[in-house]
Amino acid sequence: MKTLQVALEDRSYDIVIGQGIISQAAEYILKVCKPQRIMVVTDTTVASLHLPALQASLAATGLPVQVVSFAPGEGSKSLKSVEKLYTEAFAFGMTRTDLVIALGGGVIGDLTGFFAATLLRGVPFVQIPTTLLSQVDSSVGGKTGVNVPAGKNLVGSFYQPKLVLIDTDTLQTLSDAIFSDGMAEVIKYGCIVSEKLFEALLQAGSRRGVEAMLEDVIYACCDAKRQVVEEDELDTGRRMILNFGHTMGHVIEKAYNFQKYTHGQAVAYGMILAARLGEKLSVTAEGTAERITEILEKYHLPTDISLTGDWQKTILLDKKMQGKDLSCVLISKLGTSIVHKMPAEEFVTEIESIL
Ligand code: GLY
């Protein structure tokens, strides 16, 4: 069992990482809040796998528990789902001192966080992430939100959870493809803040290798994210480094209509492109793109994706655009990242030359 504290003054909270921790959820939760009723938001797949253990733990509190399940997938991250949650919450009698729990991956965490942030102008919530990607990234740091027709994550708020409970046992139920998807974000932390983590992952070389040191790997990623969030909670500067590989990653996801490549797969190739761009601009040490390619291959992530159509326009919608300039996240070497501002037009020309 490992614990980390995200120190954000009155919004501080613990991240507890351990095997089978869902079955002790109530114990940890009652240390940080004293609700009269609890709403659990999940999806139908996660509900069938992990809800019984959570319910068994919550039953010991004697409090009324209401479960709301959505269909798995990005389609549930919508304002329609938030509206359904408001209706359920008012029917259940939720008040400002009650509790909302997100049990699931990134979609459920983001949706539930946004719901909790806006219900009665803010109700405490706890994240219990069940995918690798949500355990190392989206459950920590307070970014919540939903998708709207204009784009992904365009409506949301910063709203920190009261607690993050990471049960590493939940990862056993993930398919290899979903595990690999999360590995892209794990490898990202190695690239941006920890050469030591990068080397350890390279040496582990496979899902089984990572599983042998899972708690340490998740701890290292959450610790890296904690430091960045503490420095820049509202994403106005340093937090941008968490977007390494994401500018071209989003372009790829959009170019394929969010159908062909998962977020992690798209970010994987995005990281290679960011490293190649950095090398071309003499910002990144030579050979870095090659090393990133090597590690991604070990985790069955794509290292070449063809881009056609007018993908260039997507760059202009990037949240890191400021006027005509784009803030690109580059690495000077493995484990050291920088934000490099350049005209978006030049970025596009350079990327076209290295595709
Ligand atoms: N996932 C990027 C961030 O939390 O800032």
- What percentage of the chain has pLDDT greater than the value 90? 92
- CA-to-CA separations, 229 to 46, 131, 236, 297, 316, in angstroms, rounded: 28, 21, 11, 30, 25
- Residue 140's pLDDT is 98
Distance 337 CA to ligand 1 centre (A): 15
Task: Supply the pLDDT for residue 134.
Answer: 98
Strand boundaries in 190-335, DSSP class E: 321-322, 325-333
Structure confidence at residue 154 (pLDDT): 87
List pLDDT tens digits, range 303-316. Answer: 999 998 888 888 88
Tell me, what's the pLDDT at 185?
98
Of the listed ranges 5-9, 147-151, 163-167, the one predicted with least confidence: 147-151
Protein residue whose Cα sits closest to atom 2 of ligand 1: 242
The reply to whether CATH 3.40.50.300 applies to domain 2-173 is no
Q: What pLDDT sits at residue 316?
A: 81
Q: 318 pLDDT exceeds 80?
A: no
According to the model, what pLDDT value does residue 317 have?
76
What's the rounded mean pLDDT across residues 121-134? 98
- What is the structure's pLDDT at 58? 98
Q: Looking at 13-17, 35-39, 301-305, 320-324, which range is the least confident one?
A: 320-324
Q: How far is the CA of 199 from the centre of ligand 1 (A)?
A: 23
Instruction: Provide residues with CB under 6 Å of ligand 1.
Output: 137, 141, 143, 235, 239, 242
Say how many C-beta atoms besides its own lie within 10 A of residue 268's C-beta. Answer: 32
Mean predicted confidence (pLDDT) in 25-41: 98
Instruction: Give the pair of three-digit tokens for residue 148.
Output: 């709207």
pLDDT band with cut points at 50, 70 and 90 for residue 302: very high
DSSP string, 262-297: -HHHHHHHHHHHHHHHHHHTT-S-TTHHHHHHHHHH
In this predicted structure, the answer to whether residue 49 has a pLDDT above a threshold of 90 is yes
Minimum mean pLDDT among 78-82, 174-178, 319-323, 330-334: which range? 319-323
* Closest-CA residue to 352 (of 318, 301, 294, 308): 308
Bridge partners of 151, per DSSP, are 148
Q: What is the pLDDT of residue 319?
A: 76
- The model's confidence at residue 211, banded by pLDDT at 50, 70 and 90, is very high
Atom of ligand 1 lying closest to residue 137 CA: 1
Average confidence (pLDDT) over 210-238 = 97
Residue 139: pLDDT band by 50, 70, 90 thresholds? Answer: very high
What ligand 1 atom has the least distance to the C-alpha of 141? 4
pTM of the model: 0.95
Average pLDDT of the segment spanning 101-121 = 98
Ranges of CATH 1.20.1090.10 domains, the chain: 176-354
By most ligand atoms within 8 Å of CB, the mutation choice from 242, 244, 250 for ligand 1 is 242
Find the mean pLDDT for residues 229-253.
95
For residues 175 and 311, the answer to whether their CB atoms sit within 8 Å is no
Mean pLDDT in residue range 28-34: 97
Q: How many CB atoms lie within 10 A of CB 346?
A: 13
Instruction: Give distance in angstroms: CA of 323 to centre of ligand 1.
Output: 22
Residues of the chain with CATH 3.40.50.1970: 2-173
pLDDT at residue 325 in the model: 93
Residue 141 Cα to ligand 1 midpoint, Å, equals 7
Confidence of residue 242 (pLDDT cuts 50, 70, 90): very high
Three-state secondary-structure class, residue 221? helix
Question: How far away, in angstroms, is 225 Cα from ligand 1 center?
Answer: 8
Q: How confident is the model at residue 14 (pLDDT cuts 50, 70, 90)?
A: very high
Taking the centre of ligand 1 as the mean of its atom positions, its distance from the CA of residue 196, in whole angstroms, is 21
The average pLDDT across 163-181 equals: 97
Mean pLDDT, rounded, of the chain = 96
pLDDT band at 150 (very low <50, low <70, confident <90, very high): confident
pLDDT at 61 > cutoff 90: yes
The CATH code for residues 176-354 is 1.20.1090.10
Report CA-CA distances (Å) from 59 to 66, 85, 169, 315.
11, 22, 21, 49
Between the CA of 227 and the centroid of ligand 1 the distance, in Å, is 12
Which atom of ligand 1 approaches the CA of 138 most closely?
1
Ligand 1 atom index nearest CA of 242: 2
Residue to mutate, 143, 226, 227, ligand 1, most ligand atoms under 8 Å from C-beta: 143
Contact 139, 111 (CB under 8 A): no
